[in-house]
Amino acid sequence: MALNDTADPAQTDARARRNVTVLVLAQAILGAQMPMIFTIGGLAGQSLASNVCFATLPISLIVLGSMLSATPVSALMQRYGRRAGFLIGTTGGALGGAIGAYGLYIASFELFLVGSFLTGIYMSAQGFYRFAAADTASDDFRPKAISYVMAGGLASAIIGPQLVKVTSQAIVIPFMGTYLAVIAVNVIGSVLFLFLDIPRPPRPSLDAPRGRSRMELLQTPRIAVAVICAMVSYALMNLVMTSTPLAVVGCGFEEGIAADVVTAHVLAMYVPSFFTGHLIARFGVEKVVAAGLAILAAAGVVALQGVELENFFVALILLGVGWNFGFIGATTMLAGAHEAHERGRMQGLNDLLVFGGVTVASLASGGLMNCSGGSAEAGWEAVNLAMAPFLMLAGGALIWLMFRPKEPV
């Protein structure tokens, strides 16, 4: 629940809309570093690693860093407020970019991995933008607020890959310019949080309700299904997206083409956000999540039809739309399934589990892509076939929830 659910909705949403504006800009500017790094991280790793099976390890370390920092960042926000947590995130992003650039300069794969791990702190903080949008929103505005903030990624989808084109070969050392640009993005973007107006959560009194334990929260059917669907949506998107630049280049296309495919994918991730909240309000969150899982399955089917350029574009566009419906839907489901005093505990736990799944997916991505069958085509097929069992798991969980008797939250 939002902090101000008892306040006048019009007054509450005036503040919420201001915060949404700040968070949309943060998503657009600061969020650009993620498509930048995901576009070249695997290629840079491939150029540094002694074994190509570890090419996507830098991306895996980003996600691992995000997973491990999710709980402490969430706890910090619960105690000191959202602004403090988001500034910690930009600090981690700038340090990660600096160390990554130096790792490329001295050709140290190990140091490059350290920079990637620190970048995960930013990725973790960015994951809380969507929850911050809900903090001051009324019940009616909450799904739209979450959706609008996610829509800010539309600009990052354009800015990030275009910066890659300009910076990746701008310095004698390939990709180093992109990591230097990441530092600038974090420094500039951090100024936005000075305008954020989200009250610090009140310190609980001794007789205040303690809320459910983490295990009790996970045993709540609606929360459990929301977490499963968020994990599967995000992990499968990451599994395929991480492999995409390697597959596109491996199938004979240029790096610029790979950046264009990633641009199309990230646009598809965020363009639907302009109406996802409205779809949730009209049709219900369960149906929107189900649609997302079905579209993710369709992405895998298209990818398996061949490695022509149109297959890459269509598959990655479907992958983005499926992630949007699945992940925003699961976030909305979760945001309405716990109390304000459980927020720090539940949101940190959710992102720990979600990015834990993403870490495994990104680790698997490089192995499947580079070490399955001996060719880029065979690796790409293995990556997309791996989606099937997890989609069946999430789909089964969602169907189970939809046929359960409705219970009060």
Helices (H), 251-308: 255-270, 273-283, 285-303
Calpha distance 157→264 (Å, rounded)? 8
Q: Is the pLDDT of residue 3 over 70?
A: no
Determine the pLDDT at residue 86.
95
Residue pLDDT, tens place only, 5-47 = 444 555 558 888 999 999 999 999 999 998 898 888 888 888 8
Quick one: pLDDT at residue 210? 65
pTM of the model: 0.73
pLDDT on residue 406:
67
Find the range with the poorest average confidence among 56-65, 245-254, 361-370: 361-370
Q: Which residues of 229-265 are buried (b: 16+ CB within 10 A; e: fewer)?
A: bbbbbbbbbbbbbbbbbbbbbbbebebebbbbbbbbb
pLDDT, the chain, mean:
86
pLDDT of residue 363: 78
Q: Averaging pLDDT over each range in 13-17, 90-94, 137-141, 154-158, which range is the top one? A: 90-94
- What is the model's pLDDT at position 2? 41
Provide the CATH topology of domain 9-197+213-402: Growth Hormone; Chain: A; (1.20.1250)
pLDDT (tens digit per residue) in 168-197: 889 999 899 999 999 999 999 999 999 998
* Domain boundaries, given as residue ranges, for the chain: 9-197+213-402
CB 363 within 8 A of CB 355: no
Whole-number CA gyration radius for the chain: 20
Judged against a pLDDT cut of 80, whether residue 409 lies above it is answered with: no
